[in-house]
Amino acid sequence: MRPTSILNPLRRELDLPAPSTEPRALHRRLPGYEPTPLRDVPAVAERLGVGRVLVKDEAWRLGLPAFKMLGASWATYRALVDRLGHDPGPWATVADLARLLAPVRPVTLATATDGNHGRAVARMAALLGLEARIRVPRGTVAARIEAIEAEGAEVSVSDGGYDDAVRESAAAADDRTLVISDTSWEGYEAVPGWVIDGYSTIFAEIDEQLAGQGLPTPTAVVVPMGVGALAAAVVSHHRGPGAPQVTLVGVEPTVAACILESARAGELVALEGEQGSIMAGLNCGTPSPLAWPRVSGGFDWLVAVDDDQARDAMRDLAAAGIVSGESGAASLAGATQLRADTGDDVLGPGSTVLLLSTEGATDPVAYREIVGRGVARSAR
């Protein structure tokens, strides 16, 4: 597929409840919690040809270089409490929580990942004194595998792509293995639903930051899409009760545009073969069935970009002082492609565009090769 933008033919009105505040209450008790920055970047706005560009910078979230800890932590907590069978009672620290959850042991957390989600699940396992087994697709770069192993997890490599790794991880579920997946399948929806709920913290922070910094409400929000979990959280926030009107734009790699192709087909479809974009966190061939109704109904525009566009976006963000990895920079690449395809019609000179940069330099070697410099320790 060539880079392209399409108006979502499945867009419709949705009846959604207000997002829960419970996930953020948990996140605030995790070690190192603080809101990630919301950055106003005039140079990127000028280059894009819009009035303002704001970047929610998830280069460092709860000690990890991506936003995924928000979903993984809440889903792990809910899944363990479900296994416990009752509310664990009040707790102030993760050490307290680990003691209260001791009756569920022994239990191993398992998942499939392109890197960031698996590392977040492994971190939660380590914090709670549990084991973790993480399955990654063939071709996952060494830096991402080593980062997961550094959390104390056992990592195994699939003989196939991401969808194969998901199936293999799902098959590992048993009385002592709890799968914490961010995508769903038949009979498995509660945990990925909790992952989506966990991402609500990002948008609660943004609302507070917009008000606190005196920034205008965005007219467009641009987000990278993999299986659709984060995208579903975007819809829950921006299409919920009382939410202001905003244009939602989802971005995928041209070789892994499973949501765009599903929208074209009018139903959920799976791409053939393996997906091999440098936007590793977006290399998904099948949308999450749980996320699909919200994503297909809530997004206005769907955009596919290629790897060169992601590289250009990484460099533009780096020039503005923002460390954004290949998947994180997809939002700027998508906004640039949409601007090229539609002119001033969607993202014009009066637009305030919010970009979600969902990760930092998760592959430091590739980041240095693309951007021309490494990541300073202060940026970690």
Q: Tell me what pLDDT residue 373 has.
A: 81
In a domain, 189, yes or no: no
Domain assignment present for residue 193? The answer is: no
- Whether 194 maps to a domain, the answer reads no
Asked whether residue 229 is assigned to any structural domain, the reply reads yes
Position 298 in a domain: yes
Kindly state whether residues 10 and 87 are assigned to the same domain: no
Pick 18 or 79 by higher pLDDT.
79
**pLDDT at 304 exceeding the cut of 60:** yes
Domain co-membership, 137 together with 96: yes
Indicate the residue among 112, 147, 182 that finishes a domain: 182
| Last-in-domain residue among 182, 207, 236 | 182
How far apart, in Å, are the Cα atoms of 38 and each of 57, 58, 167, 212, 251? 6, 9, 36, 11, 20
Instruction: Give the dihedral of Cα atoms 254, 258, 264, 266; nearest 10 deg.
Output: 180
**Structure token digits, residue 215:** 């920034």
- Cβ pair 292, 189 in contact under 8 A: no
| Contact (Cβ atoms closer than 8 angstroms) between residue 226 and residue 282 | yes
> Is there a catalytic annotation at residue 114?
yes
Q: Is residue 62 pLDDT above 50, yes or no?
A: yes
Indicate whether 188 belongs to any domain. Answer: no
Q: Is the pLDDT of residue 377 over 60?
A: no
351/225 same-domain check: yes
| 301 and 362, same domain (yes or no) | yes
Q: Which of 182, 215, 230 is the last residue of a domain?
A: 182
Whether 216 and 353 share a structural domain: yes
What number of CA atoms fall less than 13 Å from residue 371's CA on the CB side?
Answer: 27
Q: Which of 34, 52, 36 is nearest to 354 (CA)?
A: 52
**Among the options 114, 197, 316, 363, which is catalytic?**
114
Task: Encode the chain in three state secondary structure.
Answer: CCCEEEECCCCCCCCCCCCCCHHHHHHCCCCCCCCCCEEECHHHHHHHCCCEEEEEECCCECCECECCHHHHHHHHHHHHHHHHCCCCCCCCCHHHHHHHCHHHCCCEEEEECCCHHHHHHHHHHHHCCCEEEEEECCCCCHHHHHHHHCCCCEEEECCCCHHHHHHHHHCCCECCEEECCCCCECCECHHHHHHHHHCHHHHHHHHHHHHHCCCCCCCEEEEECCCCHHHHHHHHHHCCCCCCCCEEEEEEEHHHCHHHHHHHHCCCCCCCCCCCCCCHHHCCCCCCCCCHHHHHHHCCEEEEECHHHHHHHHHHHHHCCCCCCCCCCHHHHHHHHHHHHHCCCCCCCCCEEEEEECECCCCHHHHHHHHCCCCCHHHC
Flag whether pLDDT at 269 surpasses 60: yes
Residues 211 and 328 in one domain: yes
Global confidence as pTM = 0.96
Split at pLDDT 50, 70, 90, the class of 374 is: confident
CA distance 133 to 17: 34
Q: Is 231 inside a domain boundary?
A: yes
pLDDT average, residue stretch 172-191: 96
Question: What would the mean pLDDT of 266-286 be, rounded to a whole number?
Answer: 95
Instruction: Provide the number of structural domains found in the chain.
Output: 2
Of all residues in the chain, what percent carry a pLDDT higher than 90?
96
**pLDDT at residue 376 above 70?**
no
- The label of the residue with tokens 């770069």 reads 141
378 pLDDT band (50/70/90 cuts)? very low
Domain that holds residue 312: 4-67+199-379
| Residues 62 and 78 reside in one and the same domain | no
Average pLDDT over residues 141-169: 96
d(C-alpha 89, C-alpha 326), whole Å: 41
pLDDT digits (tens, 9 = 90+) for 101-119: 999 999 999 999 998 999 9
Task: Compute the half-sphere exposure of residue 7: CA atoms within 13 Å on the CB side of its CA.
Answer: 4
pLDDT exceeds 80 at position 16: yes
Give 156's strand partners: 135
56 is catalytic: no
- Cα first-last separation, the chain: 35
235 and 319 assigned to the same domain:
yes
> Residue 137 sits in a domain of what CATH number?
3.40.50.1100
pLDDT tens for residues 204-249?
999 999 999 999 999 999 999 999 999 999 999 999 999 999 999 9
Does the pLDDT value for residue 368 go beyond 50?
Answer: yes
| Co-location of 22 and 85 in the same domain | no
pLDDT of residue 380: 38
Is 135 domain-assigned?
yes
Residue 8: both structure tokens together: 């979502």
pLDDT grade for 289, boundaries at 50, 70 and 90: very high
Residues 80 and 216 in one domain: no
Question: Burial level of 96, CB count in 10 A (0-12/13-18/19+)?
Answer: middle
Catalytic residue, chosen from 15, 40, 57, 68, is 68
177-179 β-sheet, strand order:
154-157, 131-136, 108-112, 177-179
252 and 342 share one domain:
yes
Give the tens place of pLDDT for each residue, 323-363: 999 999 999 999 999 999 999 999 999 999 999 999 999 99
Statement: residue 297 has pLDDT above 80:
yes
Q: Are residues 336 and 355 in the same domain?
A: yes
